[in-house]
Structure 1
Amino acid sequence: MKKILFWVIAGFCFFLLTAAEARALTLTSPAFLDGERMPQNSGYEKGNLSPALKWWDFPEKTESFALVMDDPDARGWTHWVVFNIPVSVTELGENFPKTEELPDGTRQGLNDFKKVGYGGPCPPGGVHRYVFRLFALDSRIDLGAGCSKAALLKAIKGHILAEAKLTGKYGN
């Protein structure tokens, strides 16, 4: 009986550990599903409103988040660079402010339109994919607002605890 009880408890513990490890950082938007079309008002010439984003299941040791959005169909054109998002923040509302630094310490870099903040989809032709990448980081990043995506990606190297992706489509 003791052996059976031991194996039941051991199996249950294994299940709990496996379930805990299976949790993965998740990024979603109430505005569109992964792989689906983004709202028209998120386009650069149609309102330029950043879509709302939400995330959960990040590692316990997360100290901040960073987010980049780019268009892999246009040679990685950068549309958004956000970093030092506090760990207490788990969503960005629609039409996120286009300011270099927010009161909570969140900073934004330059997009490839040479502007700070979100720069929506503006494909030259056809339908393009827009990839939002959220990084859970083990520290805040010592970069000034207005930095490039390349500078941010270099700075977060070695600090990434988890990454999540969300892809939207936009264009004709």
Structure 2
Amino acid sequence: MTDYLDPRFPGPDPYAPLGEHPSFDLTSDDFANGGTFKEPQLGGNDVSPQLSWSGFPAETKSFAITCFDPDAPTAAGFWHWAVFNIPADVTELPSGAGDETLGGIAQAVTLVGDSGKRGYYGPNPPAGHAPHRYLFAVHALDVAELDVPADATPTVLGFNLYFHTLARSIYWGWHENK
């Protein structure tokens, strides 16, 4: 599902090179799919949104969650959040769970994003650049644990997700600093 493709946004479809995968239900109580964010989720406040998912493949052994801004004025976008090794029986994260410990889920590994922070960093595009999309992707994986070091980059995680994703759902919002 590529409802996040819209001519208002300057960046590419970052998931196009990653192949087609089935989708599943992904929702948030904190913002509407394709809508704008509330103040707590924005950069500087950095309260990760509530997310819940269902309908993923029965053979799912773990999940990874990423938040990516493909519209950042860089050649590589901007990673706002990357966490993996979320057990398959976890199907919801409450608001604010995006800290370093993912709300106390022991197996989960949270990487340092492009902000330099280990945990969720909210939308904060450069003033006057353009509206930016923030793509929250939940990846259903075929392994219980990915062998990715805790000091790896979100790009390294993304490379590993390419080989282990059974299904992927994207829920997105946007923000602009004028």
Gaps of 5+ in 1: 1-22
3-state DSSP of counterpart to 2:156:
helix
1:72 Cα deviation after fit: 1.1
1:164 is aligned to 2:169: yes
* Percent identity over paired residues: 36
Kept in 2: contact 1:108–1:147 (CA 8 A) = no
Ranges of 4+ aligned residues in structure 1 off by more than 6 Å: none
Please identify which structure carries the higher helix content: 1
1:156 Cα deviation after fit: 2.1
Among 129, 134, 144, the alignment partner of 2:133 is: 129
Larger Rg: 1
Which residue pairs with 2:115 in the alignment?
113
Which residue pairs with 1:11 in the alignment?
none
1:104 Cα deviation after fit: 2.9
1:97 Cα deviation after fit: 4.5
Find the aligned partners of 1:93 and 1:171 in 2 and give their Cα distance: 25
Q: 1:1-172 alignment to 2 at 5 Å?
A: 24-45=23-44, 47-74=45-72, 75=74, 76-99=77-100, 102-125=104-127, 126-139=130-143, 140-172=145-177
Kept in 1: contact 2:48–2:98 (CA 8 A) = no
3-state DSSP of counterpart to 2:126:
coil
Find the aligned partners of 1:144 and 1:43 in 2 and give their Cα distance: 28
Kept in 2: contact 1:48–1:118 (CA 8 A) = yes
1:138 Cα deviation after fit: 0.5
Matching residue's letter, 1:73: D
Length-normalised TM-score, structure 1: 0.80
CA RMSD of aligned residues (A): 1.7
Kept in 2: contact 1:80–1:118 (CA 8 A) = yes
Matching residue's letter, 1:61: E
1:158 Cα deviation after fit: 2.0
1:171 Cα deviation after fit: 2.3
Kept in 2: contact 1:100–1:109 (CA 8 A) = no
Matched residue pairs, number?
149
